[in-house]
Structure 1
Amino acid sequence: MAQLDSIAMAPEERHDLRAKNGRPIIDARHVAVSFKVEGGSVEAVKDVSFQLHRGETIAIVGESGSGKSVTARTVMGLLTKRAAVAGHSRIEYDGKDVLKFSVRQRRALRGNRISMIFQEPMSSLNPIYTIGSQIVEAIRVHQRMSRRDAMRRALELLTQVQIPDPEARLNQYPHQLSGGQRQRVMIAMALANDPDVLIADEPTTALDVTVQAQILNLIRDLQQKLGMAVILITHDLTVVRQFSDYVYVMSQGEVKEHNITATLFANPLHSYTRGLLASEPSGTANPLPTHSPVLLEGQGVRVSFMLKKGGFFKPQLSELVAVDSLSLELRRHETLGIVGESGSGKTTFGQALIRLQKTDGGRILFDGEPIHDMSRDHMRPMRSRMQVVFQDPFSSLNPRMSVGQIIEEGLIVNRIGANRNERLERVRDALVSAGLPANILSRFPHEFSGGQRQRIAIARAIAVEPEFILLDEPTSALDLSVQAQIIELLRKLQDERGLSYLFISHDLKVVRALCHRIVVMQHGRIVEEGPVDQILSNPRTAYTERLVKAAFQVAA
């Protein structure tokens, strides 16, 4: 009976297939993918079928590890050597089975007719090449075009995706851009050759709420102009509701339910879908203890960068002030949120406060001790007391080290644990605390989904038992149901260990659930600060009001 219900909710063909004109541009049938692991194999995708027509957007939603991204990578032919696609699987592009294409045919297809925006832009961009040269390469691989014309096209693309000062960005490197700006570069590269199909794997994960709508509207406008089809892979149900025509809900490698977007949201049939739709960050931060002492203090902190424009022989230098003489106080047990649009200076300010970013001026005190002028050697003993969870977990996890080695490394460096057995016990405890199984010590980062990698990064930070953690978009890669778990975990750890958090985020729903106070940043300056309830319910500036409206009223 359960199997019959499953077939009714997730049949092989779409419910609206007969109403569609023409053949689907992508028709996937019975796709199954397994991965070789120690002692056997794991079925990541089991019997998945979907159809995509020209000019429409289908969404594939589900929790981290549900098989969404593996399904997309199977279409692109970007699976690892440990992956095996079942022989009965078929993925037809324009009537031809791409699974039977030669390596050369798949390469000609990728980035040209079918393009993909990846979840983690920093790991997709080459750190040793400028932004301009990478976009030019994406264009010239598939088009006969001079370098000058390709660079002109690259400038047009950066302008299209609304990167500020696009001409200067062409000569910059990935590390000089914010997370949101790097994601926009990836979108520009994906659209460079006007593809028939765009696969967007969490395309707005790194973007703030106001830019998120702009980028999705841009993709939709280009879709209508070019007749492009879009596969949207996301855990953001608000985005799905606004921008998709048809939805596939995945869990544990299977499609549990699919339907026209409006129908699925109005009448979800599967219990998993109902639970997914009901998931949203909730609750508020636990009350701050009275007379809590200040742990971290910044006084007039300033950070600037020199931007280079023009040619090699006549460069023009201009100063960009990323953090403009800012001050803040963070108390013990407190969670302070720093919010603002991409490029507002949130991450730069946070990293400057823990000496991961060079400052031009100001004072920084940690537990009353000045650290702004400390040497690297003097800072080393302080590092175990302050930890970081970065925005892009893949680039912060060593791909050549196993999960066990990655987490144990911090314990070894800080001389925590009497012996290896004790350290491994701490590693397992940290993994379990972060919502992961303790038996994944021998696996590597690339074997996990984006959300699972973020939890590994959180486990690594927890393992050394710090007093303070800088959380840079820690829930951006996580689906809604796991976000709630991580928020509860962070609250629990804060109560048990007296932790202080500096929480950098563009997700105001998560900020409301976790933070005591908020600092709102724009163009390197603090425009507003105060208690969470005050800022979110009664913003004093038009900028903050726009952020709040985009976060909480976007679904209306």
Structure 2
Amino acid sequence: MTDDLRYDTAPPERRDRAEKEGAPLIDARNVAVDIKVEDGTVNAVRDVSFQLYSGETIAIVGESGSGKSVTARTVMGLLPKRASVGKGSTINYNGEDVLKFSERQRRDMRGSRISMIFQEPMSSLNPIYTIGSQIIEAIQTHRRMSRKKAEEETIALLRQVQIPEPEARLKQYPHQLSGGQRQRVMIAMALANKPDVLIADEPTTALDVTVQAQILGLIRELQRDLGMAVILITHDLTVVRHFSDYVYVMSEGVVREHNTTEALFENPSHPYTRKLLSSEPTGEANPMPEGSRPILEGQDVRVAFTLRSGGFFKAHFSELVAVDNLSITLRKQETLGLVGESGSGKTTFGQALMRLIHADDGRVLFDERNIESLTREQLRPLRSRMQVVFQDPFSSLNPRMTVGQIIEEGLIVNDIGKTGKDRDERVRDALVSSGLPGSITHRFPHEFSGGQRQRIAIARAIALEPEFILLDEPTSALDLSVQAQIIELLRRLQTERGLSYLFISHDLKVVRALCHRVCVMQHGRIVEQGPVQAVLDNPQTDYTKRLVKAAFEVAA
């Protein structure tokens, strides 16, 4: 038997089956899912089997596109219309095959008995309803309860998941919260009805390192109190090691290896598993050229928002200062990191520097030109020179356009490329540079995994050949092995094209590998800044020390 055949797929039964009592809560066997696309059929999941017992946590890990999320959505019955489940597939929950449930049975099951936290909160939360109304609806759909009582439970849930001022948040809309805060709202909604099984699809992707441990600890605490079982889908192997009992490793729609967490980390048998375990952001930023002049400057930038609370006739208004008179300087071919917890003002500051939102005070200079006073028409010629990669790729990619159209749109608007053929070559080159095949130009964003969509967003920015890129959590949705590829890509592009990056992130491991300098933000202010190695190796403030400890010393 060759190594390739030997390591093809893992056996359907768990290795610790003899140590378990009773039947599994979920027993999935031979699950196969095919998805039709324009040029054929994608075998998204092939012959996947797994077992989940009451009160435990199993982790499904693998790179983007490995089939992790498709497997979870099959359990929930949330596959796209183009998807079909194999005839031999079974998913038994409490002795019943959920694949044979009627639509009404599936609706009754979702949110009450089996609940799911999705990877991208902005596409899961309804933008026209307040946070409070959405969580209250989730509670009242499955339990007979007065609105007042449901509202009290909602406030308690928001407080549990570390949302500040939960009473005020009830009246706010998803777009008024940071990415991390939206993810915490999704977690609160999923836990509202105390489900038997919680499927957590990258539950801490958008969360900063300090809150990540708190949220996972909260899920574990509820798990102990309620006897809840958890399916954890993630690419963060540090989280897997500390919070799961059993691990399934997937690639190309197949389970390659599974074992108890301790055994798998101590003695991985499959080459793919060993590759995953050895993947971690490494290295450091390329040296900057001597005498690099500033390309972007922010001088005393201030951004404030007005918050409204109370009823229609007794409204109360308060001011939230998101960016409090901040000043930074970014030089050519430099990568400056902005780090801090969710809600610290990182993204707001970055968007103000890009003129994507209005600053209440201060000046922004791009290539020594004051862009704060420019009109939209005057700013347009500069847009191709300054690009942005957003945190949530699904909400920033037009779902009605193909990948090729999305990337080519910027080339057309900025009159880049002499002919359609020339633009097509630029699009394909950008995709290949971002780690994607050039043949996917005719496919739509929803046909890709979260990590693949983020790479499409990076390709869109690269295609315009800018001088400055704002990177807002560009690696948050990527698995570790792809993170390393993207970091190396950004380093190479910086050297070849003289790019400057403003890198917003809560992942200090990536910041250490990519940035020259780092600014630490808290409550709209910069509390510490300096060379990245100096700040991370010898933090001076208690806040920075807490961030560094949470990033490099994750504790269960």
Letter in 1 for 2:6: D
Matched position secondary structure for 2:119: coil
Distance 2:98 2:523 in 1: 46
Q: Structure 1 residue 313: deviation in Å?
A: 2.1
Seq. identity, %:
76
Q: Indicate whether 1:464 and 2:433 are aligned.
A: no
Deviations 1:391-434 (A, max 9, x none): 00000001111000100111111111112111111100100110
Distance 2:39 2:170 in 1: 48
Matched position secondary structure for 1:365: strand
After TM superposition, the structure 1 = structure 2 runs for residues 288-437 of structure 1, keeping only pairs within 5 Å, are: 288-437=288-437
Distance 2:286 2:398 in 1: 35
Letter in 2 for 1:13: E
Aligned 8 A contact 1:210 1:550 in 2: yes
Match of 2:60 in 1: 60
Distance 1:508 1:543 in 2: 14
Distance 1:555 1:438 in 2: 41
Letter in 2 for 1:457: A
Distance 2:382 2:13 in 1: 58
Distance 2:244 2:184 in 1: 20
Match of 2:255 in 1: 255
Distance 1:491 1:266 in 2: 33
Aligned 8 A contact 1:336 1:515 in 2: yes
Match of 1:31 in 2: 31
Distance 1:53 1:378 in 2: 61
Q: Structure 1 residue 252: deviation in Å?
A: 0.6
Letter in 1 for 2:463: A
**CA RMSD, Structure 1 to Structure 2 (Å):** 1.1
Distance 1:151 1:386 in 2: 44
Deviations 1:130-181 (A, max 9, x none): 1111111111111112222222211111011110111111111111111100
Aligned 8 A contact 2:338 2:520 in 1: yes
Q: Indicate whether 1:118 and 2:105 are aligned.
A: no
Gapped regions of structure 1 (runs ≥ 5): none
Aligned 8 A contact 1:352 1:358 in 2: yes
Change over 3 Å in CA distance of 1:43–1:138 after alignment to 2? same
Q: Indicate whether 1:48 and 2:48 are aligned.
A: yes
Q: Structure 1 residue 3: deviation in Å?
A: 7.1
Match of 1:481 in 2: 481
Match of 1:136 in 2: 136
Distance 1:244 1:164 in 2: 28
TM (normalized to structure 1)? 0.98
Distance 1:40 1:365 in 2: 50
Aligned 8 A contact 2:213 2:555 in 1: no
Distance 2:29 2:537 in 1: 48
Gapped regions of structure 2 (runs ≥ 5): none
Distance 1:113 1:555 in 2: 30
Matched position secondary structure for 2:27: strand
Letter in 2 for 1:496: E
Q: Structure 1 residue 17: deviation in Å?
A: 1.5
Deviations 1:409-468 (A, max 9, x none): 111111111121111111001001101000001100010000000000000000111110
Provide the aligned length of Structure 1 versus Structure 2. 555
Match of 1:178 in 2: 178
Distance 2:374 2:541 in 1: 37
Distance 1:249 1:192 in 2: 30
Q: Structure 1 residue 284: deviation in Å?
A: 0.3
Q: Structure 1 residue 101: deviation in Å?
A: 0.6
Q: Structure 1 residue 238: deviation in Å?
A: 0.3
Match of 1:5 in 2: 6
Matched position secondary structure for 2:439: coil
Matched position secondary structure for 1:355: coil
Q: Structure 1 residue 201: deviation in Å?
A: 0.2
Distance 1:433 1:358 in 2: 33
After TM superposition, the structure 1 = structure 2 runs for residues 36-115 of structure 1, keeping only pairs within 5 Å, are: 36-115=36-115
Aligned 8 A contact 2:14 2:51 in 1: yes
Deviations 1:50-101 (A, max 9, x none): 0001110000000000000000000000000110100000000111000001
Match of 1:224 in 2: 224
Distance 2:546 2:117 in 1: 27
Match of 1:280 in 2: 280
Distance 2:363 2:94 in 1: 61
Match of 1:518 in 2: 518
Match of 1:194 in 2: 194
Aligned 8 A contact 1:56 1:245 in 2: yes
Distance 1:272 1:299 in 2: 48
Distance 1:448 1:40 in 2: 15
Q: Structure 1 residue 40: deviation in Å?
A: 2.2
Letter in 2 for 1:553: E
Letter in 1 for 2:526: I
Matched position secondary structure for 1:439: helix
Q: Structure 1 residue 266: deviation in Å?
A: 0.6
Q: Structure 1 residue 5: deviation in Å?
A: 3.3
Letter in 1 for 2:164: P
Q: Structure 1 residue 216: deviation in Å?
A: 0.3
Matched position secondary structure for 1:387: strand
Aligned 8 A contact 1:167 1:309 in 2: no
Distance 2:343 2:144 in 1: 34
Aligned 8 A contact 1:299 1:364 in 2: yes
Match of 1:205 in 2: 205
Letter in 1 for 2:107: R
Distance 2:66 2:224 in 1: 30
Aligned 8 A contact 1:238 1:555 in 2: no
Matched position secondary structure for 2:303: strand
Distance 1:138 1:336 in 2: 41
Match of 2:498 in 1: 498
TM (normalized to structure 2)? 0.98
Q: Structure 1 residue 555: deviation in Å?
A: 5.9
Q: Structure 1 residue 39: deviation in Å?
A: 3.5
Match of 1:536 in 2: 536
Letter in 1 for 2:329: E
Distance 1:313 1:415 in 2: 52
Distance 1:139 1:382 in 2: 48
Match of 2:241 in 1: 241
Distance 1:404 1:435 in 2: 15
Q: Structure 1 residue 112: deviation in Å?
A: 1.2
Letter in 2 for 1:265: F
Aligned 8 A contact 1:55 1:229 in 2: yes
Letter in 1 for 2:548: V
Distance 1:154 1:396 in 2: 29
